[in-house]
Amino acid sequence: MNASKHCGRIIPVLIISILLIPLSCEENPGSKTFGDPPTPETCFCDPDGIETYLEWAADEYPDIIQLRSIGMSESGRTIYAVKLSDNPETAEAEPAVLVNGAVHGNEQAGAGMALKLIEYLAEGWYIGDPDAAAIIENLELHIIPVINPDGLALSGRLNSNDVDLNRNFGYNWYTEEDNNGDSAFDQSESSAVRDDFLTQGYCLAVNMHTTPNYSGIGIYGPWDAFGTDTDSLTPDGWAAKYLPNYALIEQLGADYAADVTAEGIAPFKQYFHYLEGADWYPLYGSMTDWALGVCGTVSYSVELYPKQNYTTADADTLELIWSAQKAALLNLITNAELGTGGRLTDTSGAAVTGAVITLTAAASGRSFSPLPYDALTGRTDSDGYFRFITEAGDYHIKFVSGTRVGEADITVGASGETSIGGTYSAFPEYILPDA
């Protein structure tokens, strides 16, 4: 295979025999007794109620839901994640997506949306809803309803150390920012989320918030820090528009805004917009900036609704929010199948985890290379997998793990498959040469 003209050392191999055979899909049982479950509407403001809901869901739907802890809050509450997928106990060759809520504890509707999504997908899977089935069968969807359970318990924005967790992530973390901790990731909640990203290898992340005013509702893309052409204070900020997938990030955000419906909230649709985060207001140390800058994860913040400090008396509002944004959220998640992915192993066939990946657009034509402005940077996950949502085209991919380096030229197809030397696969296997 002539796929290694840059260095001649990597051995890109397509493991067609395994990875291209459709993975066994369970038949939908077709009928299901749901019993008397807790509901998102009655528990979305209370961490104990949410815990009960998640334990119930994992118990009720064990073949598609797996519940795990990603760590503990500063006050000792468990931070839960659920994985929704067929064969949830197995790391499959499928794009991994994260949806989360309540990084701010007074924005309970994000937790409520997360629970509504779990409810819809689990029930949808059992009744044969094709949209639910497509997500369960083709993706590994992870949902963290509450990143900040201590804040949720008090209906407060900050965690129990008075830190804003969405200012505590380690990319463009800035000493002058308010309530951002003494250093990046010095809070157990943000470091737990960081470790979960590095384990799961998310290609798409949706961080759900709410805002006090109609003027703030919408979906926000990169970057939260800086983000305009003239804000060239750091390469990280200035790089925003030169990411190889920046136009696609804008398009998917605009699609979300267009897919939002009014659903009985008359002024809602006219306000709901897509913007770069910093064009609303700049902030430093956000989860979404870290995820894109370090993991290559296409990341958005969604300001779901103009209200904070919800109670269960807002159950009807949660229903409206879900109805208005259900289709937009499902469509966005489905786009995780775009772009390129793969699995990195060593010459013995063992997964190479935590390798730094650089994906560079081959035909950018920009004059300021070798600065990394045309590149996405990411990491292989704990099973050696990686995925980037990016546009079709020719790319150069480079893997670095310690002293081992591998490179290849690849072509990304429009439907999310990758060609190395002419053969397309959704998750080609790359073999990292020995040092």
Task: Restricting to residues 188-227, name those near Zn ion by CB under 5 A.
Answer: 209
Kindly state the smallest distance separating residue 163's Cβ from Zn ion, in Å: 14
Nearer to Zn ion, 111 or 431 (CB): 111
Min dist CB 100 to Zn ion, Å, is 11
Q: How far is the CB of 209 from Zn ion (least distance, A)?
A: 3
Supply the minimum distance, in Å, between the C-beta of residue 157 and Zn ion.
7
Three-state SS string over the chain comes to CCCCCCCCCCEEECCHHHHCCCCCCCCCCCCCCCCCCCCHHHHCCCHHHHHHHHHHHHHHCCCCEEEEEEEECCCCCEEEEEEECCCCCCCCCCCEEEEEECCCCCCHHHHHHHHHHHHHHHHHHHHCCHHHHHHHHHCEEEEECCCCHHHHHHCCCCCCCCCCHHHCCCCCCCCCCCCCCCCCCCCHHHHHHHHHHHHHCCCEEEEEECCCCHHHCEEEECCCCCCCCCCCCCHHHHHHHHCCCHHHHHHHHHHHHHHCCCCCCCCHHHHCEEEEHHHHCCCCCCHHHHHHHHHCCEEEEEECCCCCCCCHHHHHHHHHHHHHHHHHHHHHHHHHHCCEEEEEECCCCCECCCCEEEEEECCCCCCCCCCHHHEEEEECCCCCEEEECCCCEEEEEEEEECCEEEEEEEEECCCCCEEECCEEECCCEEECCCC
Please report how close the Cβ of residue 310 comes to Zn ion at its closest, in angstroms.
13
* Residue 167 binds Zn ion, judged by CB under 5 A: no
Q: Which is nearer to Zn ion, 83 or 104 (CB)?
A: 104
Q: Which residue has the tokens 């979404």?
A: 288
Nearest residue (beta carbon) to Zn ion: 209
Please identify, using beta-carbon distances, which residue of 104 and 398 lies nearer to Zn ion: 104
Q: Could you say which residues in the range 330-359 bind Zn ion, by CB under 5 A?
A: none
Shortest distance, position 216 Cβ to Zn ion, whole Å: 10
- Rounded least distance, CB 107 to Zn ion, Å: 5
Comparison of 107 and 381: residue with beta carbon closer to Zn ion: 107
User: Which residue, 286 or 401, is less far from Zn ion as judged by CB?
Assistant: 286
Smaller CB distance to Zn ion: residue 104 or 194? 104
Q: 73 or 345, CB closer to Zn ion? A: 73
> What residues numbered 93-152 form the site for Zn ion, per CB under 5 A?
104, 107
Least Cβ distance, residue 305 to Zn ion (angstroms):
12
Q: How many residues bind Zn ion (CB under 5 A)?
A: 3
- Chain residues 7-36 in contact with Zn ion, contact rule CB under 5 A: none
How far is Cα 111 from Cα 395, in angstroms, rounded to an integer?
Answer: 38
Judged by CB, which is closer to Zn ion: 306, or 372? 306
**Which parts of this chain interact with Zn ion (CB under 5 A)?**
104, 107, 209
